[in-house]
């Protein structure tokens, strides 16, 4: 562990290179990057396997995607309770190994005997469940590996790798399916999880986790403790509510948005894909900005302004028309701005959550916020479809985009808006040890 004197440069300012000199952080970053590439390729490779090999219909494909997403709602709270009692490295390694083996076995079965839709559904659920374990564990792992004054930079680096995977994943999975057979493409996705396994298992820093009693609390009690902790902290409670409001409205927006682009603007599939792809480079920029802006302008100011700008930019979309030559460039700019500021919010919120949460509650806090934030997403998607049918896409897009502004409004009225340029850990919070 670096000594206090090594935390700053000769000028007295925090030394940004200190984070990257930490070998364990580099191993976590490499593993996270590989894992995200595996996750973003498998998210489409599995459906393509169903379409190309099993000739699945639209309804079957929808069921397959829903089954893969179901573990987020079914398991997040339980996983959060377990993460707080285990070494995060162990959980991430086991999740990586499980996903690599599951995808490898599916590929072999597909090549030798054929893989039916029921087996593919089981595979999708298993991979989704293991991804929940990995994602919750990695969100708790950073606090146990680096000092708290490095959380923003660490989150910026990790979320930057996630953004890169969102950009490279679609192109890579297209190449895999085009050049290789579907089963081999599935196996190739598993290779990324194997690479993540090899990197993360080399993390050797001892984590500070609570000692296990002979009779540990029941899992339901631990879940309730997590729920009470998040509900009882004004900042985390606001993060939960703002996240739920955003995810609900954003799901409605995207349902209408994906109808508006081809139907009202008459854009081709290529143009739609190009417009959506602009979110990725924006997210990369947002990750870089998150490493500097909060400490310069204050966490509260950055959160509120970035959320307002990122969410509010969709208000310009209903004004676009298909006859204008500026339509596609405008959509590129909208998605780029949204990607930039939404990622800036994501990284900053994660740093706030990790700082104000005791180490013994990190997993449960992350899982609770994920659970509440993502829980309303299906309802938002349904609402978007109903509004589009009743009011038309242009009006519905304006209404749902206005709904996204509820999230920054909640932040403005909460203690989050008053956060300064430094974050303070709760008394008695453990710090990483060498």
The pLDDT of 293-303, averaged and rounded, is: 92
Lowest-pLDDT choice from 39-43, 172-176, 205-209, 314-318: 172-176
For residues 157 and 242, which has the higher predicted lDDT (pLDDT)? 242
Lowest-pLDDT choice from 205-214, 307-316, 319-328: 205-214
Long-range contacts of 42-45 (CB under 8 A, 24+ apart): 42/99, 42/103, 42/127, 42/186, 42/189, 42/190, 43/68, 43/169, 44/169, 44/170, 44/173, 45/173, 45/176, 45/177, 45/182, 45/185, 45/186, 45/188, 45/189
Residue 215 has pLDDT above 70, yes or no: no
Tokens of 139: 């969100």
For residues 320 and 176, which has the higher predicted lDDT (pLDDT)? 320
Identify the pLDDT of residue 204: 80
Q: Within its chain, how far is the Cα of 388 from the centroid? A: 27
Burial of 241 (0-12, 13-18, 19+ CB in 10 A): middle
Long-range contacts of 399-402 (CB under 8 A, 24+ apart): 400/249, 400/252, 400/253, 400/256, 401/249, 401/253, 401/311, 401/312, 401/314, 401/315, 401/317, 401/318, 402/315
From CA 291, how far away is CA 286, in angstroms rounded? 9
DSSP H or E segment with residue 73: helix 58-83
Long-range contacts of 86-91 (CB under 8 A, 24+ apart): 86/209, 87/207, 87/209, 88/137, 88/138, 88/140, 88/141, 88/144, 88/207, 88/363, 89/141, 89/200, 89/201, 89/203, 89/207, 91/133, 91/134, 91/137
Residue 99 has pLDDT above 80, yes or no: yes
- Report which of 80, 43, 40 is spatially closest to residue 65, judged by C-alpha positions: 43
Distances (CA, A) of 355 to 143, 372, 425, 433: 8, 20, 5, 16
The pLDDT of 235-261, averaged and rounded, is: 88
Identify the pLDDT of residue 10: 44
Q: 429 pLDDT band (50/70/90 cuts)?
A: very low
The pLDDT of 4-23, averaged and rounded, is: 52
Residue 432 has pLDDT above 50, yes or no: no
Question: What is the percent of the chain where pLDDT is above 90?
Answer: 22
Residue 341 has pLDDT above 90, yes or no: yes
For residues 425 and 218, which has the higher predicted lDDT (pLDDT)? 218
Residue 115 has pLDDT above 80, yes or no: no
From CA 411, how far away is CA 393, in angstroms rounded? 29
From CA 211, how far away is CA 19, in angstroms rounded? 28
Tokens of 9: 């440069």
**Most confident region among 201-210, 371-380, 390-399, 400-409 by mean pLDDT:** 400-409
Q: Within its chain, how far is the Cα of 203 from the centroid? A: 22
Residue 408 has pLDDT above 90, yes or no: yes
**Most confident region among 27-31, 36-40, 152-156 by mean pLDDT:** 27-31
Q: 433 pLDDT band (50/70/90 cuts)?
A: very low
For residues 177 and 305, which has the higher predicted lDDT (pLDDT)? 305
Contact 197, 75 (CB under 8 A): no
Residue 6 has pLDDT above 50, yes or no: no
For residues 177 and 291, which has the higher predicted lDDT (pLDDT)? 291
Residue 104 has pLDDT above 50, yes or no: yes
For residues 167 and 403, which has the higher predicted lDDT (pLDDT)? 403
From CA 239, how far away is CA 233, in angstroms rounded? 10
Q: For tokens 């590129």, name the residue.
A: 332
Lowest-pLDDT choice from 1-15, 43-57, 219-233: 1-15
Residue 3 has pLDDT above 50, yes or no: no
Residue 434 has pLDDT above 80, yes or no: no
Identify the pLDDT of residue 78: 85
Residue 8, beta-bridge partner list:
14
Phi-psi region of 14 (alpha: psi -120 to 50; beta: other; left: phi over 0): beta
Side-chain-side CA neighbours of 409 within 13 Å: the count stands at 9
Grouping H, G, I as helix, E, B as strand and the rest as coil, residue 14 is strand
Over the stretch 134-173, which tens digit does the pLDDT of each residue have?
A: 988 887 777 777 776 677 677 767 766 666 665 555 555 5
Residue 212 has pLDDT above 60, yes or no: no
52-82 as b/e, with b when 16 or more CB fall inside 10 Å? ebbebeeebbebbbebbbebbeebbbbbbbb
Lowest-pLDDT choice from 100-104, 237-241, 375-379: 375-379
Identify the pLDDT of residue 269: 60
**Most confident region among 17-26, 59-68, 210-219, 303-312 by mean pLDDT:** 303-312
Identify the pLDDT of residue 211: 56
For residues 315 and 12, which has the higher predicted lDDT (pLDDT)? 315
Grouping H, G, I as helix, E, B as strand and the rest as coil, residue 12 is coil
Contact 134, 95 (CB under 8 A): yes
59 backbone dihedrals φ, ψ, rounded to 5°: -65, -45
From CA 207, how far away is CA 184, in angstroms rounded? 37
Lowest-pLDDT choice from 386-390, 402-406, 408-412, 417-421: 386-390
Residue 213 has pLDDT above 60, yes or no: no
């Amino acid at each position: 562990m670096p000594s206090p004197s090594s935390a700053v440069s000769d000028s007295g300012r925090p030394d940004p290179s200190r984070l990257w000199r930490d070998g364990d952080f580099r191993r976590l970053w490499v593993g996270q990057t590989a894992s995200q590439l595996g996750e973003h390729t498998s998210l489409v490779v599995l459906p393509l396997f169903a379409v190309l090999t099993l000739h699945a219909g639209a309804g079957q494909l929808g069921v397959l995607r829903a089954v893969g997403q179901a573990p987020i709602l079914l398991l997040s709270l339980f996983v959060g309770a377990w993460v707080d009692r285990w070494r995060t490295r162990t959980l991430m390694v086991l999740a990586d190994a499980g996903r690599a083996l599951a995808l490898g076995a599916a590929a072999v079965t597909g090549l030798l005997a054929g893989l039916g839709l029921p087996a593919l559904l089981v595979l999708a659920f298993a991979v989704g469940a293991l991804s929940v374990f990995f994602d919750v564990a990695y969100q708790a792992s950073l606090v146990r590996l680096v000092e708290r004054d490095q959380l923003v930079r660490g989150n910026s680096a990790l979320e930057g790798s996630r953004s890169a995977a969102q950009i490279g994943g679609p192109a890579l999975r297209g190449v895999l399916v085009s050049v290789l057979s579907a089963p081999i493409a599935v196996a190739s996705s598993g290779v990324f999880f194997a690479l993540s396994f090899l990197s993360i298992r080399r993390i050797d820093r001892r984590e500070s986790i609570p000692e296990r009693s002979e009779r540990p609390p029941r899992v339901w009690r631990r879940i309730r403790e997590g729920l009470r902790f998040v509900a009882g902290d004004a900042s985390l409670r606001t993060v939960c509510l703002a996240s739920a409001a955003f995810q609900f409205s954003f799901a409605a927006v995207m349902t209408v948005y994906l109808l508006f682009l081809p139907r009202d603007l008459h854009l081709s599939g290529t143009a739609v894909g190009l417009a959506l792809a602009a979110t990725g480079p924006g997210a990369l920029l947002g990750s870089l900005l998150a490493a500097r802006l909060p400490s310069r302008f204050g966490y509260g100011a950055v959160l509120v302004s970035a959320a307002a700008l990122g969410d509010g930019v969709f208000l310009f979309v209903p004004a676009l028309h298909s006859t204008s030559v500026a339509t596609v460039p405008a959509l590129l700019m909208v998605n780029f701005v949204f990607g930039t500021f939404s990622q800036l919010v994501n990284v900053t919120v994660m740093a706030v959550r990790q700082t104000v949460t005791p180490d013994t509650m990190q997993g449960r806090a992350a899982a609770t916020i994920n659970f509440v934030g993502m829980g309303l997403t299906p309802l938002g998607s349904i609402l978007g479809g109903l509004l589009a049918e009743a009011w038309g896409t242009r009006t519905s897009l304006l209404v749902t985009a206005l709904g996204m502004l509820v999230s920054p409004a909640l932040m403005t009225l909460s203690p989050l808006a008053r956060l300064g340029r430094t974050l303070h850990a709760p008394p008695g919070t453990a710090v990483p040890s060498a």
